[in-house]
Amino acid sequence: METKTTSSNNVIEALSQLEDAVRNALGSARSYLNRTFKIIEGENNAKSGGWTQFLNETDKHPSSTGTAHGILALLACGEPVNSETAVLAIRYLESCQCNDGGWTKPSLHNKCSLTRITGLSLRAFLDSKSHQSSPTIKKGIDWLINSQNTDGGWGNTAKDEQSDVTSTSFALQVLTRIIGLSQNERNGIQRGQAWLLKARNADHSWGHTTNNQGTVAQTSEAIDGLLACGHSVASLKETTLWLEQHIETGGQFSERYLIPAGPSAKESVMWTQVSKERGLITLLALNSGLTSPQVVNAVKDILSRQVTGAHWKAEAFQNSEPIWAIKEAVVALRAFLNRVENNRASVVLSEEIINLRQELGAAQKQIQELQDRETKRAWKNKIKNLWVKTPKLSAGLLIGTILLTVVYVVFRHYKHQPEYADYMVAVASFVGLGFSIYPVIRENTRGGKK
């Protein structure tokens, strides 16, 4: 019992220490995001504000991508949706919407909206509790619905027939949250879900698109989309195992796309995937244990990479402070913190159950050893009792054995009739066996026993 209590206390202490470290990281990241927020003076002194993609570039204007990431990051750090920073950021993001209803990078404004930035922006509005009936959100949803490819997936641009996992997942994560969609629009969600399932590799991972080698980041994005569509955690068990095996090897990498058509044809678009953070987010969504090595190591790794208690770097941009790296990190840490707060009791209970099972196993082993000893002792006692409880029979058997030995020696060596000696030994053996078995049978049939 002492071992069980000690182990449970160790689990509580370890979780508490990790929880404190996560809270500190989120708090310092929140302060950093507020410090790097840029307020913009509009017409009639109307204020808005946002973030740039790289927060150490003080001379750059905020962007829709940076602001969408910033809103999601700030909310994950614990900022209220009605804070001044959050309200001004939402106002700025509204002003970045293109005429067609989508969102894009500054150089492509009103030329080519991008699925991922549109999905990211709409998630920022929805997480900020913006009303779904607002003109901004309705136009954005219409753009997403009308941008779906004929194969059921979504590409980086509207109807580009180059569906990929991340774009499809971003679209599904938004559309599944919208109330009041038509039957045709709900069918579009089903088609997108079917495309994601078709794009899954034989080892239950996902790559950039169909038949591409699986990565932790893209597998994570695919799972987010499927979970949004209502897939059960149990149905994704094989993918959970794949993520647990590969999360330690997943690194950051960039995806590059060329816009296929239109006024911005052949312009390059880059998207950086952050694997460790994405893997942790999805493992937690798939109910992996809070004390599992994969989860604990991922949390510690993310905490260790926070720079000066403020931001996170990107491997490909060592001297920069990208806001998307902050967003992925704080969203992952928030997911861990939420699980700790909601499941602390069950974690401790599960640890106690593990200890009880270990104690039960040890007790069963001791019981089996005692039973084996008792079985050996019982046979020894039966033989001993046979001689103690039937002394006359025992003496008779002893005398008979001596006489038989003498007769055997006489016939074989002195009378030279060995065949008679063998006959006598055989007969004597059967008689002796009968005398030996009889008291055992008699002892065990007393009192109605059989």
376-409, pLDDT tens digit by residue? 776 666 656 655 556 665 666 666 667 667 666 6
Confidence check: pLDDT of 3 > 50:
no
Q: What is the pLDDT of residue 59?
A: 87
Q: What is the pLDDT of residue 120?
A: 98
Of 10, 18, 4, 9, the C-alpha closest to 339 is 18
Q: Is the pLDDT of residue 229 over 60?
A: yes
Mean pLDDT, residues 80-108 taken together? 96
Question: What integer pLDDT is reported at residue 413 of this predicted model?
Answer: 63
Q: In whole numbers, what is the pLDDT of the chain averaged over residues? A: 86
Q: Which of 123-127, 355-359, 377-381 has the lowest mean pLDDT?
A: 355-359
Token duo for residue 184 = 């045709």
Assess contact for 253 and 275: CB atoms under 8 A: yes
Cβ–Cβ under 8 Å, residues 290 and 336? yes
Query: What was the pLDDT predicted at 222?
Result: 97
How many Cβ atoms from other residues are within 10 Å of residue 34's Cβ?
A: 15
* Residue 143 near residue 299 (C-beta atoms within 8 A): no
What does the pLDDT look like over 37-49, one tens digit per residue?
999 987 777 899 9
State the pLDDT confidence band at 366, using cuts at 50, 70 and 90. confident
In this structure, how many other beta carbons lie within 10 angstroms of the beta carbon of residue 146?
A: 13
Q: Is the pLDDT of residue 252 over 90?
A: no
83 band by pLDDT with thresholds 50, 70 and 90: very high
Q: How many residues are recorded in the chain?
A: 450
Q: Assess contact for 117 and 65: CB atoms under 8 A.
A: yes
Contact 271, 166 (CB under 8 A): yes
Q: What percent of the chain has pLDDT over 90?
A: 62
pLDDT on residue 280:
97
**Token pair belonging to 170:** 């971003």
Encoded tokens for 92 = 């700025």
Q: Report whether pLDDT(195) > 90.
A: yes
- Please give the C-alpha separations between residue 94 and each of 50, 88, 305, in angstroms, as whole numbers: 11, 10, 33
Burial class for 107, CB neighbours closer than 10 Å (0-12, 13-18, 19+):
exposed
Amino acid sitting at position 358: Q
CA distances from residue 58 to 30, 47, 52, 62, 381 in whole angstroms, order as listed: 18, 19, 8, 10, 93
Token pair in block for residue 415? 């009378």
Above 50 in pLDDT, residue 4? no
For 195, the token pair is: 């495309």
Of 30-39, 93-102, 427-436, the least confident:
427-436
Q: Kindly state the tokens that stand for 291.
A: 């004390």
Q: Is the pLDDT of residue 353 over 50?
A: no
CA angle 333, 16, 340 (to 5 degrees): 50
Q: What is the pLDDT of residues 321-334, one digit of tens each?
A: 999 999 999 999 99
- Position 5 scores a pLDDT of 46
Query: What pLDDT, on a 0 to 100 scale, did the predictor assign at position 437?
Result: 64
Q: What is the pLDDT of residues 231-245, one digit of tens each?
A: 999 999 999 999 999
Tokens 């640890």 found at: 351
Assign residue 78 a region: left if phi > 0, alpha if psi is -120 to 50, beta otherwise? left
Taken in order 51, 54, 58, 59, the sign of the CA dihedral is: negative
In this model, does residue 145 exceed pLDDT 70? yes
Would you state the structure tokens that stand for residue 9, as one six-digit string?
Answer: 């206390």
Rounded-to-integer distance, Cα 173 and Cα 195, Å: 14
Q: How confident is the model at residue 98 (pLDDT cuts 50, 70, 90)?
A: very high
| Lowest mean pLDDT, pick from 108-117, 264-273, 390-399, 401-410 | 390-399
**Residue 440: per-residue pLDDT:** 60
Main-chain dihedrals φ then ψ at residue 168, nearest 5 degrees: -65, -40
